[in-house]
Amino acid sequence: MKISRYGGRQFKGGSGDSSERSAIFRKSYKVGEIIQGILLKWEHEKLGWVQIEDQKLLANIQTSPSPGDTLIFLVQQLYPDIILKELSRDDLNANGVYLNPTDVTRQFVTKRAAFESEARSVFNDIQKNKIASAAERLKLFMVLLDQKPEYLKMFLETLKCVTDLNSILKSTKLFYMPWLVPSAHNQEIVLKVKEDTDNPDNSFYELLYALDLPPSRPARFRIMYKKPQCGFKLLADDQNLKALLAGNFEENFPEFIGVERIPQQSAGGFLSELLNAS
């Protein structure tokens, strides 16, 4: 949804010259700023007059609000044309800030890769201890990070991206717990919930766990739960990995459903699949 080509020849009628209004707008706002306006009236289909503070502007509007409705915009561009992106309140996080999910995802992937590369000695130390308990691995992970403030800073920056994404994703949560499998790279956990508000017992939960095992063997787990049943699948393309894990799962976990190939949309992890579908 965009209010586009908002300026220049698109400013017609009303008080003042259109180029003057454009100049005032450019001085008043900056790219990335969130602003509000009120639809005053429709000029004709998809073209309406919007009041933004003390300015009345003629804008191309792609949605169908009624006169008097408050509209929320992100300033996307000021030159050569003024372009605003129309937002809904669902596009804003709890603090009223617009975060682009694609941009935040790129930041997460970049910071995760940097952290996992720089702090590899931390993961190697955890791996050497062969700690069976995930809770105990977490304790050692935090102790080792406390000894390396530069690694701790990188980890917290990665978690900040997770927090930002979770503030805007709906019915989905991202988790980053790299101590679960210390030898792995690119770990991410995505929890998707299809909630039945009328009957919570009928809600469906899907947990997606992605990781790349050394040297370069992607593995994905899809865990599904709907009361009272639970099951999980292994998604992998490496034949040795499938033979190693599938046999163990079949023998020890009645919830194991089977093995599938990693679909193309999940090749980069479940988070990329989620964003492509949104």
Which phi and psi angles does 214 have, rounded to 5°?
-70, 150
DSSP state of 80: S
pLDDT in tens, 199-250: 989 999 999 999 999 988 999 999 999 999 999 999 999 999 999 999 999 9
Give burial (CB, 10 Å; 0-12/13-18/19+) of 187. buried
Query: Which range has the worst mean pLDDT, 89-93, 125-129, 141-145, 221-225?
Result: 89-93
Query: Which range has the worst mean pLDDT, 11-20, 63-72, 80-89?
Result: 11-20
At position 15, the amino acid (one-letter code) is: S
C-alpha–C-alpha distance, residues 174 and 207, integer Å: 10
**Are the beta carbons of 84 and 103 closer than 8 angstroms?**
no
Which residue spans of the chain are classified as CATH 2.40.50.140? 2-91
Is the pLDDT confidence value at 5 over 70?
no
More confident residue, 189 or 215: 189
* β-sheet bridge partners, residue 210: 188, 220
Domain 2-91: give its CATH architecture. Beta Barrel (2.40)
